[in-house]
Amino acid sequence: MENIKIRDAIENDLPAIVEIYNSSIPTRLATADLEPISVDDRRAWFAEHSPDFRPIWVLEINEEIAAWIALNSFYGGRAAYNATAEVSIYIAPSHQRQGYGSLLLKHVIQECDRLQITTLLAFCFDHNFSSIRLFERFGFQQQGHLPEVAVLDGEKRGLSILALKLCP
């Protein structure tokens, strides 16, 4: 039987977080990074997060980190946007398509009231159909589209902007 737990990320989790993130780069579905990043590259990003403001959560299966989700400040972190956060979600390849994305997204939505977040945003490449469907299942709606803003392996790709408005 699997023991599944969602908990706040700690700095010792950073190598696993980076490893999962890096595993998504070759797919060209979830990030505009084209080369792997290092743990040192992510230290400042990690420091910008805390359990009470822009948390990062990890999903553990039998004490192994299988996925993570983070809330990131929107538009440079200007104070007027504090009630809006961007969702980033990454799942290790061996744990994809098992419902963990839904589990994490449900957790984030439940935490938004505590965090005083009233709007969640998701930025998805147009060709990342599974992520777009995941967010739409939770009520996110497309609010914008930026055509051909990224070049991945010589192919121009668009970005969908999805939003979920939560009751304050």
DSSP 13-34: GHHHHHHHHHHHGGGTSS-S--
Q: Domains in the chain, please, with CATH? A: 4-165 (3.40.630.30)
End-to-end CA distance of the chain: 38
Note the pLDDT of residue 168: 65
The CA-atom distances, in angstroms, between 118 and each of 82, 109, 115 are 9, 10, 9
Low-confidence ranges of the chain (pLDDT < 70): 1, 168
Cα separation, 72 vs 76, in Å, equals: 10
Q: Specify the pTM.
A: 0.94
**Mean of pLDDT over the chain:** 96
